[in-house]
Amino acid sequence: MKNKKLGYFSTIIFLFKYMDKMRIQYFLFYIGWLFQTIVTIITPIIFGLMINQVVYYNDLNMFLKIGAVFFYITLFGVVLYYLIYEMYGIIWNKYNRNFRIEMFSKLQNLTAIEMDQIEYGDTINMIQFWSIEAVNFIVRNIVHNINNILLIIVCLGIILRIDVVLGLVTLVFVPISVYASFIGGKDIRKNSDLNKEKFSNYVAWLFERINSFVDLRLNSAVKSTIVEMDDKLGEIYDINAKIAVHNTVVNEIIANLKNIILVIQYFLLAYLSLEKNLTIGTITVMLSFFAILSKALSDIAQNYMDAQQRISVIDRIKTFLERDTINTNNDNLEKLEKIDTIELKNCKFGYDENLVVCDVNLKIERGEKVAIVGPSGCGKSTLLNLILGLYKPSKGSVLINGQKMDSYDIKSFYNRVGAVFQNIVLFEGTIMNNLLMGSNVSEKKVVNSCKYSALDSVIAEMDKGLKTELTIGGQNISGGQRQRIGIARAYLKSADVLIFDEATSALDKVNENVILDNLDKALNNRTCIMVTHRIENVNMCDRVIMLKDGKVIADASPDEIREQCDDYRKLFNLV
């Protein structure tokens, strides 16, 4: 899946893709810093000129004039700083927002197979925290590097102009320190990649453990989990320590090199000032340029090493953004107005090399009530996921109204189906909001759906009725209550096909019977496909499809299948 590792320049290209509508701000941000760079260069030159005016020409007036010019330049610099921070704020906020939304939309459009591989903790971490490293790279690692390179070129140019030998000695220092930071950077990158890998794994692990603290406690696994946590943290710490060592070593090498070069430069400068009669002003300019140059070089080195750590993270984000998505760019595709028939033709599907659905052929007509039955693990849920387009068959095809599912705008398909799974997902908010999910439905429809799904009795017992607030995941109500909200929500949707996967498994017989009794009214001639383990539910249907090891072994009415199929009788304990 992964092709080439990101390098420094490919990272810039990758990040600039998400810079929409911020380019002007980024340009101004750069210009602001460029001005500061120019001030850094001209400051020593102006000071040199000023010193020469008083020392050699006794011209205090000129000294003050140049001083005044310098004052105005720095004043302008202060105003520009304001611009820089203004732009910084805009880029920081906009980029973070764009980038996070981009990642979240990607997540929403992942194929179901990709979604299965997503680790929640790691994904939250990536969207919320690692995105910051992308912005950091944009505002810290690009602008300053360009300006530092400019600084070095100009400083070298000026030194070379004043004296070639001095310039050449200084020039030698550049490739050596670039090389040192490049070598150090490589090791840092390698360790950063490893670190991010371990860290991702740790966050995903942590998320899973936090989610299952009851199970850990009940299985007496708290102590061993803490040991595991300590190991993981230890591994991450060790890698961080290695990165810190590399950082320090490179910085030390560069600092020592800097000192050696400085001594040589000072020596040469002292010699030159005697030999060539350099003015005090020129000597001051040279001394300042030595300092500016050596600072620029160590900044580039540090910047490069910091960038390596950021690139590790950005590389992971890039890999995430390259995951497979469902076809979302489908404005030109046909919109599905109504689902009449659903047909599976020679469908095969497996999560790995083992097939879970084998050569399934079936056609479901509008208005049919179909039960899908079979022992657990035989592929019922997988089959429903194929019908729902969440999984794509590896062979064969799913046809809607006789046409391949892919030929329709997938969003229009999801407008026409409703599905209720065993584990209902509810959101923080009122029950009403959980039923409507942002749609507009008449009050009469809400009342009827609540009645047909046996939810009305639940609501009647609550002080605030439909306005009762649910906590995150609907954890403040029971599994059976959650299932009833899920069913009512599906009934409310103006779908043509309703799919239930063991949707009443947590309900008592009384409430399940209420739902069964009202099923026809609720469906109102819509198609219904249900996976169920209860014979009463099966008997409500027009047709039963029996699966075994991913194959359809019987497809008939409840009465017929009971006659024909041994496996069916065994499954429901019928004689």
Quote the least distance from Cβ 547 to Mg ion, whole Å: 11
Q: Rounded to whole angstroms, how far apart are CA atoms 368 and 528?
A: 6
Q: Is 468 in the site for Mg ion (CB under 5 A)?
A: no
Quote the least distance from Cβ 379 to ligand ADP, whole Å: 4
Quote the least distance from Cβ 571 to ligand ADP, whole Å: 12
Closer to ligand ADP at the Cβ: 225 or 381?
A: 381
Q: Is 351 in the site for ligand ADP (CB under 6 A)?
A: yes
Burial class (CB in 10 A: 0-12, 13-18, 19+), 219: exposed
Q: Is 377 in the site for ligand ADP (CB under 6 A)?
A: yes
Binder of Mg ion out of 240, 381, 430, 539 (CB under 5 A): 381
> Segment 106-125, which members bind ligand ADP (CB under 6 A)?
116
Q: Is 382 in the site for ligand ADP (CB under 6 A)?
A: yes
Contact 95, 135 (CB under 8 A): yes
Contact 216, 209 (CB under 8 A): yes
User: Which tokens hold the place of 262?
Assistant: 């400085």
Q: Which does 116 bind (CB under 5 to 8 A by kind): ligand ADP, Mg ion, none?
A: ligand ADP
CA distances (Å), origin 506, targets 158, 239, 479, 510: 81, 47, 6, 12
Q: Determine the distance from the C-alpha atom of residue 113 to the mean position of all C-alpha atoms in its chain, rounded to a whole number.
A: 17
Contact 366, 397 (CB under 8 A): no
Quote the least distance from Cβ 19 to Mg ion, whole Å: 45
Q: Which does 322 bind (CB under 5 to 8 A by kind): Mg ion, ligand ADP, none?
A: none
Burial class (CB in 10 A: 0-12, 13-18, 19+), 137: buried
Contact 368, 499 (CB under 8 A): no
Q: Is 378 in the site for ligand ADP (CB under 6 A)?
A: yes
Q: Which one of the spans 96-104, 372-380, 476-484, 536-544 is the region binding ligand ADP (CB under 6 A)?
A: 372-380
In degrees, to the nearest 5, what angle opens at C-alpha 120 toward C-alphas 376 and 129?
A: 175
Q: Rounded to whole angstroms, how far apart are CA atoms 114 and 107?
A: 9
Q: Determine the distance from the C-alpha atom of residue 558 to the mean position of all C-alpha atoms in its chain, rounded to a whole number.
A: 47
Closer to ligand ADP at the Cβ: 350 or 429?
A: 350
Q: Please name the residue ranges forming H helices in 391-534.
A: 410-416, 431-436, 443-452, 456-460, 479-492, 509-517, 519-523
Closer to Mg ion at the Cβ: 423 or 471?
A: 423
Q: Is 240 in the site for Mg ion (CB under 5 A)?
A: no
Quote the least distance from Cβ 182 to Mg ion, whole Å: 54
Q: Which one of the spans 47-55, 280-288, 369-377, 433-441 is the region binding ligand ADP (CB under 6 A)?
A: 369-377
Q: Is 381 in the site for ligand ADP (CB under 6 A)?
A: yes
Q: Which does 351 bind (CB under 5 to 8 A by kind): ligand ADP, Mg ion, none?
A: ligand ADP
- Other CB atoms within a 10 A radius of the CB of residue 128 amount to 12
Binder of ligand ADP out of 376, 440, 525, 573 (CB under 6 A): 376
Closer to ligand ADP at the Cβ: 281 or 486?
A: 486
Closer to Mg ion at the Cβ: 109 or 505?
A: 505
Binder of ligand ADP out of 144, 310, 380, 534 (CB under 6 A): 380
Quote the least distance from Cβ 372 to ligand ADP, whole Å: 9
Q: Which does 40 bind (CB under 5 to 8 A by kind): Mg ion, ligand ADP, none?
A: none
Q: Which does 356 bind (CB under 5 to 8 A by kind): Mg ion, ligand ADP, none?
A: ligand ADP
Q: Which one of the spans 345-353, 380-388, 393-401, 534-542 is the region binding Mg ion (CB under 5 A)?
A: 380-388
- For residue 155, give every residue at least 6 positions away whose Cβ sits within 8 Å of its Cβ, in sequence order, or none: 41, 289, 292, 293, 296
Closer to ligand ADP at the Cβ: 446 or 531?
A: 531
Q: Determine the distance from the C-alpha atom of residue 347 to the mean position of all C-alpha atoms in its chain, rounded to a whole number.
A: 32
Closer to Mg ion at the Cβ: 381 or 430?
A: 381
Closer to Mg ion at the Cβ: 109 or 381?
A: 381
Quote the least distance from Cβ 236 to ligand ADP, whole Å: 29
- For residue 143, give every residue at least 6 positions away whose Cβ sits within 8 Å of its Cβ, in sequence order, or none: 29, 30, 33
- Other CB atoms within a 10 A radius of the CB of residue 478 amount to 12
Q: Is 136 in the site for Mg ion (CB under 5 A)?
A: no
CA distances (Å), origin 188, targets 11, 191, 253, 519: 16, 5, 15, 63
Q: Rounded to whole angstroms, how far apart are CA atoms 299 and 208?
A: 41
Q: Which does 377 bind (CB under 5 to 8 A by kind): ligand ADP, Mg ion, none?
A: ligand ADP
Q: Which one of the spans 15-23, 206-214, 378-386, 468-476 is the region binding Mg ion (CB under 5 A)?
A: 378-386
Q: Rounded to whole angstroms, how far apart are CA atoms 305 and 521?
A: 67
Q: Which one of the spans 212-220, 230-238, 318-326, 370-378 is the region binding ligand ADP (CB under 6 A)?
A: 370-378
Residue 384: φ, ψ to 5°: -60, -40
Interhelix angle for 509-517 vs 479-492, to 10°?
10
Q: Is 330 in the site for Mg ion (CB under 5 A)?
A: no
Nearest to 34 by CA among 87, 103, 101, 102: 87
Binder of ligand ADP out of 184, 379, 389, 393 (CB under 6 A): 379
Quote the least distance from Cβ 211 to ligand ADP, whole Å: 18
Spell out a b/e string for 147-156, using b for 16 or more CB atoms within 10 Å of the CB, else e: bbeebbebbb
Q: Which does 89 bind (CB under 5 to 8 A by kind): ligand ADP, Mg ion, none?
A: none
Interacting residues toward ligand ADP by CB under 6 A: 116, 351, 356, 374, 376-382
